[in-house]
Structure 1
Amino acid sequence: MPATDLPLLIDAALEAGRIATRYSGQTAARWDKPQGAGPVTEADLAVNAMLEQRLPAARPGYGWLSEETEDTTDRLERERVFIIDPIDGTRSFAEGSRTWAHSLAVAENGVVTAAVIYLPMRDLLYAAAAGQGATLNGKPIAASQTASLEEAEILAARPNLEGRHWRGGQAPAFTRAYRPSLAYRMALVGQGRFDAMLTLRPSWEWDIAAGDLILREAQGKCTDRSGKPLRFNNPNPRLNGVIAGGTGIHALLCENLDPDGTGIQA
């Protein structure tokens, strides 16, 4: 239940931060995962090991989905599941940057009910429980009320501006910014620091789950690239991109995006 799961996630995230910051990002052992799945460091695995021991022990009936654990179908039979990214932004961690995060969530019947995104190097802890609002370091946060794309600052990687993603073959005018951690991008939108974020390629659930609830509890809106609500704990744990923002900007992005990625005016 949200009221009891959130304190558990907060305590686990703080411990994850203590473990990760014992490693020096640039000297931590690093290697590439098979099949181009990206880098991993000894810090990722150390954090994952702690979380995989601690969280299921506290909630024996919950399933488990983590970037650093081999996936099984067992979680599909569970009503509730932990969705975990031990370190989101591993490349940034390995480069010695401060913009990496721990992303922890619980989903119940496909909907996230408790979530934490923690950046230990920036002392930022974003948290939310269903129906209880979203906070940053214990203080309430709210998504942007900006209602014009021309005035909006949107977090997005440059490839998302390619014409094929947009109706009429051209992205609308807005100010683009970027942060390497996808979870942090979503938290920043929930905080109102940016008006929206979008990623138009298939996205792993563990990158998205915590940010989805934080943003929704901050009175923003979060959907896939076609505007459909996000559902979690899928057999293939990938989502069809993500559009997240204040309600006004979210609606405008959905109007301008081509859900098929062809850039053809419907």
Structure 2
Amino acid sequence: MQAHDPADDLALLIEAAKTAGAIAQIHFRRDPEIWQKGDESPVTEADIAIDRVLRTDLLAARPNYGWLSEETEDDAERLDDDRVFILDPIDGTRAFIEGQDSYAHALAVAEQGRIIAGVVFLPEKDKLYAAALGCGATLNGQPIHVSGARVEAEAQLLATKPMMRENHWPGGIPPVKRVYRPSLAYRMALVAEGHFDGMATFRPTWEWDIAAGAILIEEAGGTATDGQGQPLRFNQRHPQVKGVLTAPPKLHAALLKRRRR
């Protein structure tokens, strides 16, 4: 495999994210056509349009890359590719349908199972988060870092109510303040910028929901693992991971201890 600069892929993803945002805004709050997928989750004409345009543009720029997207039928050929685009055309489709401004576009590149570049873009909020391996993480071009939280009692954790039930925390429910935002990608971006201290979900999680957020957090100085503390691996045959736990390193260790007892 030839030497490769992740910053080159990041520049490509940033332009693609802006294209996605422009397409989304054509349909936002304009009653887009909606369908129900087999798992009962909604998809709109905006999701499909973004997926189609980005697949054409990105694979034209990187014809030797694989493709994994929520809105494209999966093709096992991606498993043979060293590098793969992983994206969610609209993360937070329900929020998009409801006219909320918290939907996001999440785009990433994985190299041999590890994310090397990622972008989370919220066009309605004009917030573009970006990170490439070894280059740090930014928000609208300015460096960002995870919070300095170390103590659970002082931490704000992004999670749904069911994630804070006793069965998920054998060592005791952590004394954090639970908060919530739509879109997994946006939640992870908020942790990367230090706006919140951590994020947890213990349900099986699709790779496209978390790929971009994972490198944002890691490049911002945080820790991102699956829900059991194992390293996140991407471009798997079945593209799901066993939940996600993210936080600054010492807080992550404290939370993980409660998960393992």
> Under a length normalisation based on structure 2, what TM-score does the superposition of the two structures give?
0.97
Pair 1:58-2:41 in alignment: no
Taking the aligned partners of 1:188 and 1:249, their CA distance within structure 2 comes to 16
Moved over 3 A (4+): none
1:3 offset after TM fit, Å? 2.0
Equivalent residue for 1:121, pick from 114, 120, 124? 124
The correspondence of residues 177-216 of structure 1 with structure 2, limited to 5 A, is 177-216=179-218
Pair 1:20-2:24 in alignment: yes
Taking the aligned partners of 2:28 and 2:164, their CA distance within structure 1 comes to 35
Give the aligned residue type for 1:203: T
Are the counterparts in 2 of residues 143 and 219 from structure 1 also a CA contact under 8 Å?
yes
Taking the aligned partners of 1:157 and 1:109, their CA distance within structure 2 comes to 31
Taking the aligned partners of 2:45 and 2:187, their CA distance within structure 1 comes to 24
2:93 is aligned to 90
1:257 offset after TM fit, Å? 1.3
Equivalent residue for 2:142, pick from 139, 144, 154? 139
Are the counterparts in 2 of residues 26 and 94 from structure 1 also a CA contact under 8 Å?
no
The correspondence of residues 148-187 of structure 1 with structure 2, limited to 5 A, is 148-168=151-171, 170-187=172-189
Count of aligned pairs = 257
Taking the aligned partners of 2:32 and 2:130, their CA distance within structure 1 comes to 28
Give the aligned residue type for 2:225: T
- Where does structure 2 lack aligned partners over 5 or more consecutive residues? none
1:35 offset after TM fit, Å? 3.3
What's the Cα RMSD here? Answer: 0.9
CA deviations over 1:206-231 (Å, ceiling 9, x no partner)? 00000000100000000001111100
Taking the aligned partners of 1:65 and 1:108, their CA distance within structure 2 comes to 13
1:31 offset after TM fit, Å? 1.6
Name the SS of the counterpart of 1:249 in structure 2.
Answer: helix
1:219 is aligned to 221
Taking the aligned partners of 1:226 and 1:15, their CA distance within structure 2 comes to 36
Equivalent residue for 2:113, pick from 110, 114, 125? 110
Name the SS of the counterpart of 1:106 in structure 2.
Answer: strand
CA deviations over 1:182-203 (Å, ceiling 9, x no partner)? 0000000000000000111000
Are the counterparts in 2 of residues 145 and 247 from structure 1 also a CA contact under 8 Å?
no
